């Protein structure tokens, strides 16, 4: 038995060059072997289920202004600098803390600055 499920979604497309009313299609295929001797029952054939969506998709093309792009870019760069700064500080301080802890456990006096 072969089953095909076809879904159609109405779509409106708006770009700077064109505006169009169109449709998007999706197809799902399912195959099942029918063997009455093995206990699988059903009718042999090819079945097509055609479904139209009640919702419409609207696609609009919008461009970001240059100033907004630059603000976002500065935010990303600032986040990278602050994150690498935190990692760098942690990598410098953590070996010192581990060394001091091991020295404290050995009961050796340590000069803490």
Q: Is residue 96 part of a domain?
A: yes
Q: Is residue 15 part of a domain?
A: yes
Q: Is residue 3 part of a domain?
A: no
Number of separate domains in the chain: 1
With tokens 């979604």, the residue in question is 9
Residue 41 pLDDT: 76
Residue 71 pLDDT: 96
Q: Is the pLDDT of residue 102 over 80?
A: no
> Could you list the residue range(s) of the whole structural domain that residue 25 is in?
11-110
Q: pTM for this structure?
A: 0.48
């Amino acid at each position: 038995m072969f089953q095909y499920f076809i879904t159609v979604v109405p779509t409106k497309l708006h770009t700077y060059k064109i505006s169009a009313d169109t449709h998007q299609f999706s197809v799902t295929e399912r195959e099942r072997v029918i063997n009455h001797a093995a206990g699988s029952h059903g009718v042999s054939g090819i079945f097509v289920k055609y479904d139209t969506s009640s919702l419409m998709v609207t696609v609009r093309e919008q461009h970001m202004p240059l100033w907004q792009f630059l603000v976002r870019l500065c935010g990303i760069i600032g986040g990278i600098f602050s994150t690498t700064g935190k990692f760098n500080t942690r990598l410098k301080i953590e070996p010192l803390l581990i060394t001091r802890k091991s020295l404290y456990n050995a009961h050796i006096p340590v000069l803490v600055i």
